Chain A
Amino acid sequence: MASVHRVSFTQRFKMYWVRHLQQALASLGELWRTPLSSMLSIAVIGVCLSMPAALQLAYKNVQRLTDSIQSNSQISLYLQQSVTEKEAKAWQLELSSEGGVADTQFVHRDQGLDQLQQRAGFGSVLSLLEDNPLPHVIVVQLASSWQSADKAEQLLSQLAQAPWVEQAKLDLEWLERLDALRAMFSQSALFLIVLLVAAVVLIISNTLRLNILSRRDEIEVMKLLGASSRFIQRPFLYTGFWIGLTGGLLAWVLCNLMLFWCEYALSQLGLAFGQQLTLLGQSAQEFLLLMISALGVSLLASWWSVRRNIRLIEPK
Protein backbone atom coordinates (compact mmCIF):
# COMPACT_ATOMS: atom_id res chain seq x y z
CA MET A 1 0.00 0.00 0.00
CA ALA A 2 1.19 3.52 -0.64
CA SER A 3 2.75 5.26 2.29
CA VAL A 4 0.20 6.74 4.64
CA HIS A 5 2.26 9.70 5.83
CA ARG A 6 3.61 11.10 2.60
CA VAL A 7 3.23 14.63 3.89
CA SER A 8 5.31 15.61 6.90
CA PHE A 9 3.65 16.65 10.14
CA THR A 10 5.07 20.18 9.91
CA GLN A 11 3.77 20.53 6.38
CA ARG A 12 0.36 19.22 7.40
CA PHE A 13 0.23 21.59 10.39
CA LYS A 14 1.17 24.58 8.23
CA MET A 15 -1.29 23.65 5.51
CA TYR A 16 -4.02 23.08 8.11
CA TRP A 17 -3.96 26.79 8.98
CA VAL A 18 -3.49 27.86 5.37
CA ARG A 19 -6.61 25.84 4.46
CA HIS A 20 -8.49 27.39 7.38
CA LEU A 21 -7.74 30.83 6.01
CA GLN A 22 -8.58 29.77 2.47
CA GLN A 23 -11.86 28.17 3.54
CA ALA A 24 -12.79 31.21 5.63
CA LEU A 25 -12.22 33.52 2.67
CA ALA A 26 -13.88 31.11 0.25
CA SER A 27 -17.04 30.94 2.38
CA LEU A 28 -17.08 34.74 2.54
CA GLY A 29 -16.75 34.75 -1.25
CA GLU A 30 -19.59 32.24 -1.47
CA LEU A 31 -21.84 34.64 0.49
CA TRP A 32 -20.73 37.45 -1.82
CA ARG A 33 -21.59 35.39 -4.91
CA THR A 34 -25.18 34.87 -3.71
CA PRO A 35 -25.91 38.39 -2.47
CA LEU A 36 -29.69 38.19 -2.32
CA SER A 37 -30.02 35.04 -0.24
CA SER A 38 -27.03 36.03 1.90
CA MET A 39 -28.47 39.46 2.61
CA LEU A 40 -31.84 37.99 3.46
CA SER A 41 -30.30 35.57 5.95
CA ILE A 42 -28.13 38.26 7.49
CA ALA A 43 -31.09 40.68 7.69
CA VAL A 44 -33.27 38.11 9.45
CA ILE A 45 -30.48 37.28 11.92
CA GLY A 46 -29.78 40.99 12.44
CA VAL A 47 -33.43 41.78 13.17
CA CYS A 48 -33.77 38.79 15.50
CA LEU A 49 -30.62 39.71 17.42
CA SER A 50 -31.48 43.40 17.55
CA MET A 51 -34.62 42.63 19.60
CA PRO A 52 -32.82 41.17 22.65
CA ALA A 53 -30.21 43.92 22.39
CA ALA A 54 -32.92 46.59 22.24
CA LEU A 55 -34.75 45.00 25.17
CA GLN A 56 -31.55 44.99 27.17
CA LEU A 57 -31.07 48.68 26.38
CA ALA A 58 -34.68 49.45 27.26
CA TYR A 59 -34.31 47.55 30.52
CA LYS A 60 -31.13 49.43 31.32
CA ASN A 61 -32.83 52.79 30.75
CA VAL A 62 -36.00 51.81 32.63
CA GLN A 63 -33.91 50.59 35.51
CA ARG A 64 -32.04 53.87 35.62
CA LEU A 65 -35.37 55.70 35.66
CA THR A 66 -36.82 53.57 38.46
CA ASP A 67 -33.56 53.75 40.40
CA SER A 68 -33.66 57.51 40.31
CA ILE A 69 -37.30 57.44 41.41
CA GLN A 70 -36.57 54.96 44.15
CA SER A 71 -33.59 56.94 45.34
CA ASN A 72 -36.16 59.49 46.52
CA SER A 73 -37.83 56.81 48.67
CA GLN A 74 -37.92 57.88 52.26
CA ILE A 75 -39.57 56.95 55.52
CA SER A 76 -41.20 59.73 57.54
CA LEU A 77 -41.11 59.09 61.29
CA TYR A 78 -43.77 61.13 63.11
CA LEU A 79 -42.55 61.34 66.70
CA GLN A 80 -44.68 61.35 69.81
CA GLN A 81 -45.87 64.79 70.90
CA SER A 82 -43.96 64.37 74.14
CA VAL A 83 -40.59 63.98 72.38
CA THR A 84 -38.53 67.14 72.71
CA GLU A 85 -36.32 68.62 70.02
CA LYS A 86 -33.21 67.57 71.98
CA GLU A 87 -34.39 63.98 72.32
CA ALA A 88 -35.39 63.85 68.67
CA LYS A 89 -31.99 65.10 67.51
CA ALA A 90 -30.19 62.61 69.75
CA TRP A 91 -32.24 59.81 68.25
CA GLN A 92 -31.58 61.18 64.74
CA LEU A 93 -27.86 60.76 65.45
CA GLU A 94 -28.43 57.19 66.59
CA LEU A 95 -30.47 56.45 63.49
CA SER A 96 -27.72 57.61 61.13
CA SER A 97 -25.61 54.62 62.06
CA GLU A 98 -28.47 52.13 61.48
CA GLY A 99 -28.17 49.67 58.58
CA GLY A 100 -30.28 50.71 55.61
CA VAL A 101 -30.20 54.38 56.49
CA ALA A 102 -28.38 56.60 54.03
CA ASP A 103 -29.26 59.96 55.52
CA THR A 104 -31.60 61.53 58.05
CA GLN A 105 -33.19 64.93 58.28
CA PHE A 106 -34.84 66.47 61.32
CA VAL A 107 -37.99 68.52 60.61
CA HIS A 108 -39.02 70.70 63.53
CA ARG A 109 -42.78 70.79 64.22
CA ASP A 110 -42.82 74.59 63.47
CA GLN A 111 -41.06 74.01 60.18
CA GLY A 112 -43.62 71.28 59.45
CA LEU A 113 -46.48 73.66 60.13
CA ASP A 114 -44.94 76.30 57.85
CA GLN A 115 -44.62 73.73 55.08
CA LEU A 116 -48.19 72.59 55.58
CA GLN A 117 -49.47 76.13 55.40
CA GLN A 118 -47.59 76.76 52.18
CA ARG A 119 -48.54 73.49 50.51
CA ALA A 120 -52.15 73.05 51.58
CA GLY A 121 -53.25 76.56 50.78
CA PHE A 122 -55.35 76.87 53.89
CA GLY A 123 -52.82 78.88 55.86
CA SER A 124 -55.49 81.14 57.34
CA VAL A 125 -57.29 78.19 58.95
CA LEU A 126 -54.08 76.77 60.40
CA SER A 127 -53.16 80.18 61.84
CA LEU A 128 -56.33 80.03 63.95
CA LEU A 129 -54.95 77.09 65.91
CA GLU A 130 -53.74 77.91 69.38
CA ASP A 131 -51.13 75.15 69.52
CA ASN A 132 -49.10 73.48 66.79
CA PRO A 133 -50.65 69.96 66.57
CA LEU A 134 -47.79 68.61 64.48
CA PRO A 135 -45.04 66.44 65.98
CA HIS A 136 -41.32 66.62 65.17
CA VAL A 137 -40.50 64.48 62.18
CA ILE A 138 -37.37 62.58 61.22
CA VAL A 139 -37.10 61.86 57.51
CA VAL A 140 -35.02 58.76 56.78
CA GLN A 141 -33.45 58.42 53.36
CA LEU A 142 -33.05 54.74 52.41
CA ALA A 143 -29.65 53.37 51.45
CA SER A 144 -29.50 52.22 47.79
CA SER A 145 -29.31 48.55 48.78
CA TRP A 146 -32.54 48.96 50.83
CA GLN A 147 -34.64 50.49 48.06
CA SER A 148 -36.62 47.36 47.22
CA ALA A 149 -40.14 47.04 48.61
CA ASP A 150 -39.25 44.06 50.81
CA LYS A 151 -36.30 45.68 52.47
CA ALA A 152 -37.96 49.06 52.79
CA GLU A 153 -40.90 47.39 54.54
CA GLN A 154 -38.52 45.56 56.86
CA LEU A 155 -36.83 48.83 57.83
CA LEU A 156 -40.20 50.56 58.22
CA SER A 157 -41.52 47.99 60.69
CA GLN A 158 -38.22 48.06 62.59
CA LEU A 159 -38.31 51.86 62.94
CA ALA A 160 -42.05 51.93 63.72
CA GLN A 161 -41.37 49.87 66.87
CA ALA A 162 -39.15 52.57 68.40
CA PRO A 163 -40.77 54.08 71.54
CA TRP A 164 -40.54 57.69 70.31
CA VAL A 165 -42.32 56.99 67.08
CA GLU A 166 -46.03 57.66 66.85
CA GLN A 167 -46.34 56.75 63.21
CA ALA A 168 -43.98 55.67 60.41
CA LYS A 169 -44.94 56.15 56.76
CA LEU A 170 -43.64 54.89 53.44
CA ASP A 171 -45.43 54.69 50.09
CA LEU A 172 -44.94 50.94 49.86
CA GLU A 173 -47.62 50.38 47.25
CA TRP A 174 -45.80 52.54 44.78
CA LEU A 175 -42.55 50.75 45.43
CA GLU A 176 -44.23 47.36 45.11
CA ARG A 177 -45.88 48.33 41.84
CA LEU A 178 -42.63 49.58 40.48
CA ASP A 179 -40.84 46.38 41.50
CA ALA A 180 -43.60 44.24 39.99
CA LEU A 181 -43.49 46.21 36.74
CA ARG A 182 -39.75 45.84 36.54
CA ALA A 183 -39.92 42.11 37.28
CA MET A 184 -42.65 41.64 34.66
CA PHE A 185 -40.57 43.53 32.11
CA SER A 186 -37.45 41.49 32.80
CA GLN A 187 -39.38 38.17 32.73
CA SER A 188 -41.10 39.03 29.46
CA ALA A 189 -37.81 40.21 28.01
CA LEU A 190 -36.11 36.98 29.05
CA PHE A 191 -38.85 34.90 27.45
CA LEU A 192 -38.66 36.97 24.27
CA ILE A 193 -34.87 36.65 24.20
CA VAL A 194 -35.10 32.86 24.46
CA LEU A 195 -37.64 32.80 21.61
CA LEU A 196 -35.54 35.05 19.42
CA VAL A 197 -32.34 33.09 20.07
CA ALA A 198 -34.26 29.92 19.15
CA ALA A 199 -35.37 31.68 15.96
CA VAL A 200 -31.74 32.56 15.15
CA VAL A 201 -30.70 28.93 15.72
CA LEU A 202 -33.48 27.65 13.45
CA ILE A 203 -32.80 30.19 10.69
CA ILE A 204 -29.06 29.54 10.62
CA SER A 205 -29.43 25.78 10.77
CA ASN A 206 -32.02 25.83 7.98
CA THR A 207 -29.90 28.16 5.82
CA LEU A 208 -26.94 25.83 6.19
CA ARG A 209 -29.07 22.73 5.64
CA LEU A 210 -30.21 24.12 2.29
CA ASN A 211 -26.64 25.14 1.51
CA ILE A 212 -25.43 21.60 2.26
CA LEU A 213 -28.20 19.99 0.23
CA SER A 214 -27.39 22.18 -2.77
CA ARG A 215 -23.80 20.90 -2.58
CA ARG A 216 -24.70 17.28 -1.96
CA ASP A 217 -22.85 15.98 -5.04
CA GLU A 218 -19.72 17.88 -4.12
CA ILE A 219 -19.81 16.49 -0.58
CA GLU A 220 -20.22 12.95 -1.91
CA VAL A 221 -17.21 13.38 -4.20
CA MET A 222 -15.13 14.82 -1.38
CA LYS A 223 -16.01 11.89 0.85
CA LEU A 224 -15.06 9.47 -1.94
CA LEU A 225 -11.70 11.21 -2.28
CA GLY A 226 -11.01 10.76 1.43
CA ALA A 227 -12.04 14.08 2.92
CA SER A 228 -12.79 13.86 6.62
CA SER A 229 -16.09 15.17 7.95
CA ARG A 230 -14.23 18.00 9.70
CA PHE A 231 -12.67 19.09 6.42
CA ILE A 232 -16.07 19.10 4.71
CA GLN A 233 -17.80 20.86 7.62
CA ARG A 234 -15.33 23.72 7.86
CA PRO A 235 -16.54 25.97 4.98
CA PHE A 236 -20.13 25.67 6.24
CA LEU A 237 -19.05 26.55 9.77
CA TYR A 238 -17.26 29.60 8.39
CA THR A 239 -20.47 30.54 6.55
CA GLY A 240 -22.25 30.39 9.93
CA PHE A 241 -19.46 32.49 11.44
CA TRP A 242 -19.80 35.21 8.78
CA ILE A 243 -23.60 35.24 9.05
CA GLY A 244 -23.30 35.57 12.84
CA LEU A 245 -20.69 38.31 12.62
CA THR A 246 -22.54 40.43 10.05
CA GLY A 247 -25.90 39.68 11.71
CA GLY A 248 -24.47 40.88 15.05
CA LEU A 249 -23.14 44.08 13.49
CA LEU A 250 -26.48 44.70 11.81
CA ALA A 251 -28.24 44.13 15.14
CA TRP A 252 -26.00 46.75 16.74
CA VAL A 253 -26.77 49.26 13.98
CA LEU A 254 -30.53 48.55 14.21
CA CYS A 255 -30.42 48.86 17.97
CA ASN A 256 -28.81 52.27 17.78
CA LEU A 257 -31.31 53.36 15.13
CA MET A 258 -34.15 52.27 17.45
CA LEU A 259 -32.54 54.18 20.31
CA PHE A 260 -32.31 57.30 18.18
CA TRP A 261 -35.93 56.84 17.07
CA CYS A 262 -37.24 56.43 20.62
CA GLU A 263 -35.14 59.11 22.25
CA TYR A 264 -37.86 61.76 22.18
CA ALA A 265 -40.61 59.50 23.55
CA LEU A 266 -38.41 58.21 26.36
CA SER A 267 -37.23 61.65 27.35
CA GLN A 268 -40.90 62.72 27.60
CA LEU A 269 -41.51 59.72 29.87
CA GLY A 270 -38.61 60.83 32.03
CA LEU A 271 -40.09 64.29 32.31
CA ALA A 272 -43.39 62.79 33.45
CA PHE A 273 -41.49 61.34 36.41
CA GLY A 274 -39.77 64.65 36.99
CA GLN A 275 -36.49 63.33 35.72
CA GLN A 276 -34.13 64.78 33.16
CA LEU A 277 -33.25 61.66 31.18
CA THR A 278 -30.51 61.22 28.67
CA LEU A 279 -30.78 57.80 27.06
CA LEU A 280 -28.02 55.31 27.66
CA GLY A 281 -26.59 53.60 24.57
CA GLN A 282 -24.62 50.38 24.42
CA SER A 283 -21.31 50.37 26.22
CA ALA A 284 -18.24 48.78 24.66
CA GLN A 285 -18.72 45.75 26.92
CA GLU A 286 -22.35 45.37 25.85
CA PHE A 287 -21.36 45.64 22.20
CA LEU A 288 -18.74 42.96 22.79
CA LEU A 289 -21.31 40.79 24.56
CA LEU A 290 -23.73 41.20 21.64
CA MET A 291 -21.05 40.16 19.14
CA ILE A 292 -19.91 37.20 21.26
CA SER A 293 -23.53 36.08 21.69
CA ALA A 294 -24.23 36.46 17.96
CA LEU A 295 -21.11 34.48 17.04
CA GLY A 296 -21.67 31.91 19.77
CA VAL A 297 -25.28 31.25 18.82
CA SER A 298 -24.56 31.13 15.09
CA LEU A 299 -21.54 28.85 15.49
CA LEU A 300 -23.49 26.53 17.77
CA ALA A 301 -26.41 26.41 15.33
CA SER A 302 -24.03 25.89 12.40
CA TRP A 303 -22.13 23.12 14.15
CA TRP A 304 -25.35 21.32 15.07
CA SER A 305 -26.85 21.61 11.59
CA VAL A 306 -23.67 20.91 9.61
CA ARG A 307 -22.69 17.90 11.69
CA ARG A 308 -26.15 16.41 11.43
CA ASN A 309 -26.68 17.03 7.71
CA ILE A 310 -23.22 16.08 6.49
CA ARG A 311 -23.39 12.81 8.37
CA LEU A 312 -26.53 11.97 6.37
CA ILE A 313 -24.70 12.33 3.05
CA GLU A 314 -22.72 9.25 2.15
CA PRO A 315 -21.39 8.15 -1.24
CA LYS A 316 -23.58 5.59 -2.98
Chain B
Amino acid sequence: MIRFEQVSKVYPGSHRALQKVSFNLEQGQMAFLTGHSGAGKSTLLKLITAIERPSDGQVFIGNRDISRIKASQVPYLRRQIGVIFQDYKLLNDKTVFDNVALPLIIDGYGLSDITKRVHAALDKVGLHDKARFLPLELSGGEQQRVGIARAVVNKPALLIADEPTGNLDQELSLEIMRLFEQFNQVGVTVLIASHDLNLIQERGYPCLVLKQGQLAHNGLLREQL
Protein backbone atom coordinates (compact mmCIF):
# COMPACT_ATOMS: atom_id res chain seq x y z
CA MET B 1 0.00 0.00 0.00
CA ILE B 2 2.81 2.42 0.92
CA ARG B 3 6.26 1.76 -0.50
CA PHE B 4 9.30 4.01 -0.08
CA GLU B 5 12.34 3.20 -2.20
CA GLN B 6 15.55 4.99 -1.23
CA VAL B 7 13.66 8.19 -0.56
CA SER B 8 15.62 11.31 0.37
CA LYS B 9 14.31 14.76 1.00
CA VAL B 10 16.56 17.79 1.13
CA TYR B 11 14.99 21.15 1.95
CA PRO B 12 16.41 24.42 0.66
CA GLY B 13 19.46 25.32 2.73
CA SER B 14 20.75 21.72 2.42
CA HIS B 15 18.76 20.49 5.40
CA ARG B 16 18.46 16.71 4.93
CA ALA B 17 15.08 15.68 6.38
CA LEU B 18 15.14 12.11 5.05
CA GLN B 19 18.03 9.99 3.81
CA LYS B 20 17.53 6.90 1.68
CA VAL B 21 14.46 5.69 3.54
CA SER B 22 12.96 2.41 2.30
CA PHE B 23 10.03 0.47 3.72
CA ASN B 24 6.87 -1.27 2.64
CA LEU B 25 3.54 -1.16 4.40
CA GLU B 26 1.19 -3.86 3.09
CA GLN B 27 -2.47 -3.33 2.41
CA GLY B 28 -4.54 -3.86 5.58
CA GLN B 29 -1.52 -3.40 7.86
CA MET B 30 -1.40 -1.05 10.83
CA ALA B 31 1.89 0.54 11.86
CA PHE B 32 3.34 3.35 13.91
CA LEU B 33 5.89 5.93 12.90
CA THR B 34 7.99 7.41 15.65
CA GLY B 35 11.14 9.36 16.30
CA HIS B 36 12.31 12.52 18.02
CA SER B 37 11.31 15.97 16.88
CA GLY B 38 13.12 16.71 13.63
CA ALA B 39 13.67 13.03 12.88
CA GLY B 40 11.66 13.30 9.66
CA LYS B 41 8.20 11.99 10.66
CA SER B 42 6.29 14.97 9.32
CA THR B 43 8.32 15.01 6.11
CA LEU B 44 7.52 11.33 5.56
CA LEU B 45 3.79 11.96 6.01
CA LYS B 46 3.99 15.00 3.71
CA LEU B 47 5.55 12.83 1.03
CA ILE B 48 2.66 10.36 1.28
CA THR B 49 0.07 13.13 0.88
CA ALA B 50 2.11 14.83 -1.87
CA ILE B 51 2.51 18.03 0.13
CA GLU B 52 6.22 17.58 -0.53
CA ARG B 53 8.06 15.81 -3.35
CA PRO B 54 11.09 13.59 -2.71
CA SER B 55 14.49 14.93 -3.76
CA ASP B 56 15.49 11.40 -4.63
CA GLY B 57 13.94 7.93 -4.69
CA GLN B 58 10.35 6.84 -5.28
CA VAL B 59 7.16 6.85 -3.24
CA PHE B 60 4.43 4.40 -4.22
CA ILE B 61 0.84 4.61 -2.99
CA GLY B 62 -0.97 1.50 -4.18
CA ASN B 63 0.96 0.74 -7.32
CA ARG B 64 1.26 4.34 -8.35
CA ASP B 65 4.54 6.25 -8.21
CA ILE B 66 3.60 9.62 -6.78
CA SER B 67 7.15 11.03 -6.73
CA ARG B 68 6.57 12.95 -9.95
CA ILE B 69 2.79 13.21 -9.80
CA LYS B 70 1.30 16.14 -11.76
CA ALA B 71 -0.09 18.99 -9.66
CA SER B 72 -3.50 18.49 -11.28
CA GLN B 73 -3.57 14.87 -10.05
CA VAL B 74 -2.72 15.65 -6.41
CA PRO B 75 -6.34 16.37 -5.34
CA TYR B 76 -7.44 12.96 -6.68
CA LEU B 77 -4.64 11.26 -4.73
CA ARG B 78 -5.57 13.05 -1.51
CA ARG B 79 -9.22 12.04 -1.87
CA GLN B 80 -8.11 8.44 -1.50
CA ILE B 81 -6.20 9.04 1.74
CA GLY B 82 -7.85 9.81 5.07
CA VAL B 83 -5.68 12.19 7.08
CA ILE B 84 -6.01 12.96 10.79
CA PHE B 85 -4.15 15.88 12.33
CA GLN B 86 -2.89 16.61 15.82
CA ASP B 87 -4.60 20.01 15.75
CA TYR B 88 -7.75 18.47 14.19
CA LYS B 89 -7.92 21.09 11.39
CA LEU B 90 -11.68 21.44 11.64
CA LEU B 91 -13.56 24.38 10.15
CA ASN B 92 -14.83 26.16 13.23
CA ASP B 93 -17.60 28.08 11.48
CA LYS B 94 -19.15 24.89 10.14
CA THR B 95 -21.11 22.29 12.08
CA VAL B 96 -19.78 18.82 12.87
CA PHE B 97 -22.03 17.46 10.11
CA ASP B 98 -20.66 19.94 7.56
CA ASN B 99 -17.06 19.21 8.56
CA VAL B 100 -17.51 15.49 8.13
CA ALA B 101 -19.43 15.98 4.88
CA LEU B 102 -16.63 18.04 3.31
CA PRO B 103 -14.66 15.16 1.68
CA LEU B 104 -17.91 13.79 0.21
CA ILE B 105 -18.91 17.19 -1.16
CA ILE B 106 -15.46 17.55 -2.73
CA ASP B 107 -15.77 14.07 -4.23
CA GLY B 108 -19.17 14.87 -5.79
CA TYR B 109 -21.43 12.63 -3.72
CA GLY B 110 -25.21 13.10 -3.88
CA LEU B 111 -27.11 14.74 -1.03
CA SER B 112 -28.80 11.56 0.23
CA ASP B 113 -25.50 9.64 0.11
CA ILE B 114 -23.81 12.41 2.06
CA THR B 115 -26.45 12.38 4.79
CA LYS B 116 -26.30 8.59 5.07
CA ARG B 117 -22.50 8.37 5.15
CA VAL B 118 -21.96 11.28 7.53
CA HIS B 119 -24.42 9.85 10.04
CA ALA B 120 -22.77 6.43 9.73
CA ALA B 121 -19.30 7.94 10.33
CA LEU B 122 -20.50 9.99 13.30
CA ASP B 123 -22.20 6.88 14.66
CA LYS B 124 -18.92 5.02 14.39
CA VAL B 125 -17.05 7.62 16.46
CA GLY B 126 -19.92 8.03 18.92
CA LEU B 127 -20.90 11.58 17.97
CA HIS B 128 -24.23 11.02 16.30
CA ASP B 129 -25.99 13.36 18.70
CA LYS B 130 -23.45 16.14 18.13
CA ALA B 131 -24.00 16.57 14.38
CA ARG B 132 -25.41 20.11 14.71
CA PHE B 133 -22.73 21.32 17.14
CA LEU B 134 -19.89 23.62 16.17
CA PRO B 135 -16.38 22.14 16.76
CA LEU B 136 -15.57 24.69 19.45
CA GLU B 137 -18.56 23.47 21.47
CA LEU B 138 -16.89 20.06 21.76
CA SER B 139 -14.06 18.74 23.95
CA GLY B 140 -10.59 17.99 22.51
CA GLY B 141 -11.33 14.27 22.35
CA GLU B 142 -14.62 14.88 20.60
CA GLN B 143 -12.98 17.22 18.10
CA GLN B 144 -10.40 14.56 17.33
CA ARG B 145 -13.20 12.05 16.78
CA VAL B 146 -14.82 14.50 14.36
CA GLY B 147 -11.46 14.61 12.56
CA ILE B 148 -11.44 10.82 12.41
CA ALA B 149 -15.01 10.69 11.15
CA ARG B 150 -14.05 13.16 8.42
CA ALA B 151 -11.01 11.06 7.49
CA VAL B 152 -12.97 7.82 7.15
CA VAL B 153 -16.28 9.11 5.78
CA ASN B 154 -15.45 8.33 2.15
CA LYS B 155 -14.02 4.95 3.12
CA PRO B 156 -10.37 5.47 2.15
CA ALA B 157 -8.08 2.49 1.79
CA LEU B 158 -5.33 4.37 3.63
CA LEU B 159 -5.53 6.28 6.89
CA ILE B 160 -2.68 8.54 7.99
CA ALA B 161 -2.67 10.08 11.46
CA ASP B 162 -0.18 12.70 12.55
CA GLU B 163 0.11 12.69 16.37
CA PRO B 164 -3.63 11.99 16.75
CA THR B 165 -3.38 11.66 20.52
CA GLY B 166 -0.84 14.41 21.08
CA ASN B 167 -3.36 16.72 22.74
CA LEU B 168 -5.37 14.06 24.55
CA ASP B 169 -5.13 12.36 27.94
CA GLN B 170 -4.39 8.63 28.41
CA GLU B 171 -8.00 7.51 28.45
CA LEU B 172 -9.01 9.46 25.36
CA SER B 173 -5.84 8.32 23.58
CA LEU B 174 -6.81 4.67 24.14
CA GLU B 175 -10.30 5.38 22.89
CA ILE B 176 -8.91 6.92 19.70
CA MET B 177 -6.52 3.98 19.23
CA ARG B 178 -9.40 1.54 19.50
CA LEU B 179 -11.13 3.42 16.72
CA PHE B 180 -8.08 3.06 14.49
CA GLU B 181 -7.97 -0.65 15.26
CA GLN B 182 -11.61 -0.99 14.29
CA PHE B 183 -10.92 0.61 10.91
CA ASN B 184 -7.86 -1.57 10.44
CA GLN B 185 -9.93 -4.68 11.16
CA VAL B 186 -12.13 -3.92 8.16
CA GLY B 187 -9.10 -3.71 5.85
CA VAL B 188 -8.00 -0.10 6.07
CA THR B 189 -4.22 0.43 6.07
CA VAL B 190 -3.32 2.67 9.01
CA LEU B 191 -0.10 4.60 9.63
CA ILE B 192 0.08 6.58 12.86
CA ALA B 193 2.86 9.03 13.70
CA SER B 194 3.28 9.26 17.45
CA HIS B 195 5.72 10.24 20.18
CA ASP B 196 3.99 8.10 22.75
CA LEU B 197 6.28 5.06 23.13
CA ASN B 198 4.15 3.51 25.87
CA LEU B 199 1.12 3.60 23.65
CA ILE B 200 3.07 2.08 20.75
CA GLN B 201 4.49 -0.72 22.86
CA GLU B 202 1.13 -1.50 24.42
CA ARG B 203 -0.62 -1.89 21.07
CA GLY B 204 2.02 -4.21 19.66
CA TYR B 205 2.02 -3.09 16.04
CA PRO B 206 5.06 -2.75 13.79
CA CYS B 207 6.88 0.52 14.14
CA LEU B 208 9.06 2.62 11.84
CA VAL B 209 11.63 4.48 13.89
CA LEU B 210 13.29 7.50 12.31
CA LYS B 211 16.56 8.94 13.60
CA GLN B 212 18.06 12.02 11.98
CA GLY B 213 16.21 11.34 8.75
CA GLN B 214 17.22 7.69 8.52
CA LEU B 215 15.11 4.63 9.15
CA ALA B 216 16.66 3.21 12.31
CA HIS B 217 14.18 0.41 12.90
CA ASN B 218 11.31 -1.31 11.10
CA GLY B 219 9.41 -3.89 13.16
CA LEU B 220 7.96 -4.40 16.61
CA LEU B 221 9.30 -1.82 19.02
CA ARG B 222 9.95 -4.45 21.71
CA GLU B 223 12.62 -5.97 19.51
CA GLN B 224 14.58 -2.74 19.47
CA LEU B 225 14.33 -1.96 23.18
Contact = CB atoms under 8 A, between A and B. Distances in A.
Interface residues of B, number: 33
Interface residues of A, number: 27
B108 A15 contact: yes
Interface stretch (A58-66, A91-99, A149-157, A223-231): A223-231
Nearest to A225: B103
A226 B109 contact: no
B199 interface: no
A89 interface: no
Nearest to B79: A226
A222 interface: yes
A48 B83 CA distance: 46
Given A218-B91, A315-B51, A226 B76 contact: yes
Interface stretch (B126-134, B155-163, B174-182, B214-222): B155-163
B165 interface: no
Contact of B89 (A7, A221, A231): A221
Contact of B108 (A2, A11, A218): A11
Contacts of A225: 78-79, 83, 102-103, 106, 150
Contacts, number: 77
Interface of B: 1, 49, 51, 61-64, 72, 75-80, 83, 89-91, 102-103, 105-111, 150, 154-158
30 contacts: A1-B1, A1-B62, A1-B63, A1-B157, A2-B155, A2-B156, A4-B80, A6-B107, A6-B155, A7-B109, A11-B108, A11-B109, A11-B110, A14-B110, A15-B109, A15-B110, A18-B111, A19-B105, A218-B91, A220-B89, A221-B91, A222-B102, A222-B106, A224-B51, A225-B79, A226-B80, A227-B75, A231-B106, A314-B51, A315-B51
- The 6 A-B residue pairs whose C-beta atoms are closest, nearest first, are A1-B62, A226-B79, A226-B78, A2-B157, A12-B108, A228-B75
Interface of A: 1-2, 4, 6-7, 11-12, 14-16, 18-19, 217-218, 220-228, 231, 314-316
